[in-house]
Structure 1
Amino acid sequence: MSWIDIGHIEDVPLRGARLVRTAAGCVAVFRTDEAEVFAASNTCPHKQGPLSEGIVHGQKVTCPLHNWVFDLNTGEAQGADEGRIATYPVRIEAGRILLDGAALAKRSAA
């Protein structure tokens, strides 16, 4: 894996998100707890809502347009909704958020 430093964990608000622009497209980074982050597609498959503007609760995000809920671990839509968002490996080292560049490269090649 090739890790890309995308910023300090404090750059992402607690129970909030930040949009990160990469060469492979935009990725939403969600901070669900003091030291817990997830990275996923920023676009809801239902109506292309910007997930980085959604409501973060537990390890889920709710789309701001039509209330679809996605599990940030798996990308799967919850409840009666069917759909999925891409998720990407992310880790924290010394307070810095690192995103898996190889996973992003696979996305752009698809």
Structure 2
Amino acid sequence: MSWIDIGHIDDVPLRGARLVKTRLGCIAIFRTAEAELFAASNACPHKGGPLSEGIVHGQSVTCPLHNWVFDLNTGEAQGADEGRITTYPVRLEGGRILLDARAVTERSAA
């Protein structure tokens, strides 16, 4: 994989998120613990709510508009809700956040 350095971990608040603009649209970087990050699409599939403004808890995020909860590991909605957000490979190296370049620059044919 090819990685893009998108900033320092301290740029993302603990149990919070920051946005990264890509060719695919905005991707939210979620910090769920001191050294734990997830990357996912910013728009809730229900009504397009900005997930980066949602509540981060455990390894999940709750949409600020209608309280849909998404697992940041899989992107799947939890509970009775049906839906999914796209997740992206992200890693932490020396305090720097690295996002998979290929995943955020190429659209899937599916």
Paired residue for 2:42? Answer: 42
Gaps of 5+ in 2: none
Q: Which runs of 4+ in 1 moved over 6 A?
A: none
Report the Cα offset of residue 108 of structure 1: 6.7
Looking at structure 1, the residues matched to 80 and 67 of structure 2 have their Cα atoms a distance apart, in angstroms, of 12
Report the Cα offset of residue 28 of structure 1: 0.2
Paired residue for 1:63? Answer: 63
Report the Cα offset of residue 109 of structure 1: 6.1
Q: Percent identity?
A: 83
Gaps of 5+ in 1: none
Looking at structure 2, the residues matched to 17 and 96 of structure 1 have their Cα atoms a distance apart, in angstroms, of 15
**Alignment TM-score, normalising by the size of structure 1:** 0.95
- Which moved further from structure 2: 14-23 or 87-96? 14-23
Please provide the CA RMSD for this pair.
Answer: 1.2
- Give the conservation status (yes or no) of the 8 Å contact 1:12–1:30: yes
Q: 1:2 to 1:109 in 2, by over 3 A?
A: farther
Looking at structure 1, the residues matched to 29 and 86 of structure 2 have their Cα atoms a distance apart, in angstroms, of 12
Looking at structure 2, the residues matched to 23 and 106 of structure 1 have their Cα atoms a distance apart, in angstroms, of 8
Paired residue for 2:104? Answer: 104
